[in-house]
Amino acid sequence: MQAADLTLSSLCSNAMDIAGLTIALLRTSKIPARYAHGTIDVPVEALKNWAGGFSDSNAAMAFAASGGIPITAVTSGGKISQVGWAHAVCAHAE
């Protein structure tokens, strides 16, 4: 069984899974495609809200990481101010 099969059967995915599947479909259709990836800096307060209303920054980061999202804390003044959130997308290459 391939990794994509596991993702489809579990009905769970992350940005890298979706980008990989999209790239495979495009390439099968003879359309050039590649990964584009980077890091998005998200204010920690926004992450806590998006993750479901967490009051604790570390708990919100652990929750996001448990879903397969690579994240890192960005601190300012000894306090977590932002979260570096790794993201991947499919880029069409003409």
Across 1-94, where does the E strand assignment appear?
33-43, 71-76, 79-92
Residue 39: per-residue pLDDT: 84
- For residues 43 and 81, the answer to whether their CB atoms sit within 8 Å is yes
pLDDT digit of tens for each residue in the chain (94 aa)?
Answer: 454 454 556 666 667 778 888 889 999 999 998 888 788 889 999 999 988 899 999 999 999 888 777 889 999 999 999 999 877 777 766 6
Residue 57: per-residue pLDDT: 93
